[in-house]
Amino acid sequence: MEGETAKPAKGRVCTICNQRRAALKRPKTLEQICRECFYAVFEQEIHGVIVENQLFKPGERVAIGASGGKDSTVLAYVLSELNRRHNYGLDLFLLSVDEGITGYRDDSLETVKRNEIQYGLPLKVVSYKELYGWTMDEIVKLIGLKNNCTFCGVFRRQALDRGAALLKVDKLVTGHNADDIAETVLLNILRGDIARLSRCTSITTGEDGPIPRCKPFKYTYEKEIFTYAYFKRLDYFSTECIYSPNAYRGFAREFIKDLERIRPRAILDIIKSGEDFRISTSTKMPEQGNCERCGYISSQKWCKACVLLEGLNRGLPKLGIGRSRGVNNEPGKNTKQAKGVESIQSKQCGNLDF
């Protein structure tokens, strides 16, 4: 805690059990605790969030969006563990998207396939190629390295939903952690997006849609997820998407890391603020309809994926990106969103997109 002088190390005994040797300083609270106690509080907190928010009902089929990265790997591990321990009665599945990125997705998919065996969870892989007729490699060949994360994000989001529908699951859980959510709160403030600001802290979204999504890691710190994966020696894939060559972390992400350094609690405080903002209920997201082409939920005539696809298939790949106009020819609407977003870009697509 800022301003406070560091306490003398009291022989480094765990402050929770007072027996074992402390092995780490818990990122969230800076308490010095042992490994076993860390596992216990980490898992217990997530269990508490699941129960308190009634995320699941017994007998539900739940897909875990699995990228092979550390967030979703830890989520798969912890969720199957808690499901067993606390008798949630859930049917759990791993759901992966194969974007068709040689060298990146090949390897991360191998990781997910190992997880399938390690955790005993059935795995479903949906590929861009079968859904859209294009792999990311082919898209990049056509449009170059710029803007390709637009495709990654839009296509992956839909791909997950479609995979979930194929698996006939009731819910889709993703590995978004507290840092991700705090970052989204800040980005929405910086971009002036009050509608997204009002719902970006919801633990469950899309309840009116066919398959609700939820985030059991809403209050879990990224650092703790790392720590957990490290101590448990979980098998995850750590390379970021090779099509984000800037490895751009964004001002907001850096800012959150700086904040966490002087006041770990700040991440939770940002989420609390996001939940408490007084936003009038009339501030809603644009009316959701369905894409005329593929039936996916969309506020416009065509969903974003169909607009992008149309561009690819017609050889006009810039269609639907940034300021260019496309089928949903509503001047101003897309333009406003695109303006100034580049430099305060959110997390890279190595993680599952919002």
Which of Zn ion, other proteins, none binds 39 (CB below 5-8 Å, type-dependent)? Answer: none
Choose between 3 and 331: whose C-beta lies nearer to other proteins.
3
What does DSSP assign to residue 296? -
Selected from 141, 209, 277, 330, the binder of other proteins by CB under 8 A is: 277
Secondary structure (3-state) at 48: helix
Site string for other proteins, 278-297 (x = CB under 8 A): xxx--x--------------
* Alpha carbons 223 and 34: distance in angstroms, whole number: 16
Q: How far is the CB of 336 from other proteins (least distance, A)?
A: 11
Beta strand 24-25 with 32-33 is antiparallel
Choose between 113 and 265: whose C-beta lies nearer to other proteins.
265
Q: How far is the CB of 15 from Zn ion (least distance, A)?
A: 8
Name the binding residues for ATP.
65-67, 71, 97, 175, 180
For 131, 136, 158, 320, the CA distances from 315, given in Å and listed in that order, are 19, 15, 22, 13
Choose between 87 and 281: whose C-beta lies nearer to other proteins.
281
Choose between 127 and 345: whose C-beta lies nearer to other proteins.
345
Selected from 30, 145, 166, 194, the binder of other proteins by CB under 8 A is: 194
Question: Binding to Zn ion by residue 349, rule CB under 5 A?
Answer: yes
Choose between 53 and 273: whose C-beta lies nearer to other proteins.
273
Residues whose CB falls within 8 Å of the CB of residue 237, separated by 6 or more in sequence, listed in order? 67, 68, 69, 73, 107, 108, 110, 111
User: How many residues make up the chain in this entry?
Assistant: 354
Q: How far is the CB of 295 from Zn ion (least distance, A)?
A: 7
What does DSSP assign to residue 18? S
What does DSSP assign to residue 301? S
Secondary structure (3-state) at 329: coil
Question: Binding to Zn ion by residue 97, rule CB under 5 A?
Answer: no
Choose between 18 and 283: whose C-beta lies nearer to Zn ion.
18
Q: How far is the CB of 309 from other proteins (least distance, A)?
A: 31
Question: Binding to other proteins by residue 251, rule CB under 8 A?
Answer: yes
Query: In this structure, are residues 94 and 125 in contact, taking their beta carbons and an 8 Å threshold?
Result: no
Q: What is the DSSP string of 180-234?
A: HHHHHHHHHHHHT-HHHHHHTT-SEE-TTSSS-EE-TTTT--HHHHHHHHHHTT-
* Alpha carbons 201 and 184: distance in angstroms, whole number: 8
Selected from 273, 299, 324, 328, the binder of other proteins by CB under 8 A is: 273
Q: How far is the CB of 225 from Zn ion (least distance, A)?
A: 20
Question: Binding to other proteins by residue 335, rule CB under 8 A?
Answer: no
For 81, 110, 131, 300, the CA distances from 116, given in Å and listed in that order, are 14, 10, 23, 38
Question: Binding to other proteins by residue 202, rule CB under 8 A?
Answer: no
Token pair belonging to 85: 């321990």
Q: How many residues bind other proteins (CB under 8 A)?
A: 38
Residues whose CB falls within 8 Å of the CB of residue 7, separated by 6 or more in sequence, listed in order? none
* Alpha carbons 292 and 20: distance in angstroms, whole number: 61
Selected from 159, 167, 306, 352, the binder of Zn ion by CB under 5 A is: 306
Name the binding residues.
65-67, 71, 97, 175, 180
Q: Where does this chain bind Zn ion (CB under 5 A)? A: 14, 16-17, 20, 34, 37, 149, 152, 241, 243-244, 291, 293-294, 296, 303, 306, 349
Q: Where does this chain bind other proteins (CB under 8 A)? A: 1-4, 185-186, 188-194, 197, 251, 255, 258-259, 262-263, 265-266, 268-270, 272-280, 283, 340, 343-344
